[in-house]
Chains A and B, each alone.
Chain A
Amino acid sequence: MNEEKGAPVSAAERQMWTTWVRERAVRSLPPEKLLPDRQPAYVSSWIYVFGVATIAALIVIVVSGMVLGLKGPTWWHISSLGRFFNSIHLWAVELFFFAMVVHLWGKFFMAAWRGGRARTWVTGAIAFLVAIGAAFTGYLSQQNFDSQWIASEGKDGLNSVGIGAFFNVANFGQMYTFHVILLPVVVVALVVWHVLLVRRHGVVPPYPARVKAAAASPPAAGEGGLS
């Protein structure tokens, strides 16, 4: 490995996959884009805080879920501290979806897929859909009459669309595995990908203002001024 900063990479080093990955990563997402210290002026609006609010809720969900998973169903049903963490987990999920829906509405009405941001939009939409599955399997993992009721009501619907054999809501072990491992990993991976795409392409600018005067200059095509 070439340790000297700025030194040319030799032909042998260029054949290494680590060199290829590093150069490609730095080229597509340089450090000043990955961790910027300034944002465009139009980001100074409350509508832009709901994305990070969603991520904050997701962190609380993951941490409280880890505690619940370590302590087990008896703890979260019987002890006062367990019920407290169970409530923290539930209400963090409520805030997660609340903030995510407001974030989704904001991005939809400003057509956030403009300017080469289609993948940012699609990863966000898929993360939303997978999060619904994660929440559904969470209701099935409560280990109470509510989860039994939801399982008995949900199995007919899933059987009717042909996925009951692969996604059996009456199988607690399968639903619990989906809830604590598979779906959280997918949601977190999609959120990380989503944020990296936002860093790479920037926050979508607002629609250009309609200029009625014929003599007015056309709206700038760039990202707007810096705050």
Chain B
Amino acid sequence: MSAGGGAIAPVVPTVFAALFDLSDPARYLHWHFFQMSVANVVVILLMIAVFVAAILIPFPKRERTP
């Protein structure tokens, strides 16, 4: 990510680089036959969370004109 102008701009790529290190090999979860990258596990858990939330959270009602 290229840094733009301003003093605060280089902070953003630094923070993201600390959170998501794309230079090193991916981390894997391994338990018996189960082996999956942490990134894929996170995405699957997010999909399950969004699926449950989509069922439970009420849909906003729209005001209807007569």
Contacts and interface: CB of A to CB of B under 8 A. Distances in A.
Q: Do A and B come from one complex?
A: yes
Interface string A92-117: 00100010011001100000000000
B53 interface: yes
B50 interface: yes
B interface, how many residues as a size bin? Answer: 10 to 19
Contact of A45 (B47, B51, B55): B55
A17 interface: no
Interface of B: 2, 43, 46-47, 50-51, 53-55, 57, 59, 61
Interface of A: 44-47, 49-50, 80, 94, 98, 101-102, 105-106
24 contacts: A44-B59, A44-B61, A45-B54, A45-B55, A46-B53, A46-B54, A46-B55, A46-B57, A46-B59, A47-B54, A47-B55, A49-B54, A50-B54, A80-B2, A94-B43, A98-B46, A98-B47, A98-B50, A101-B47, A102-B47, A102-B51, A102-B54, A105-B47, A106-B51
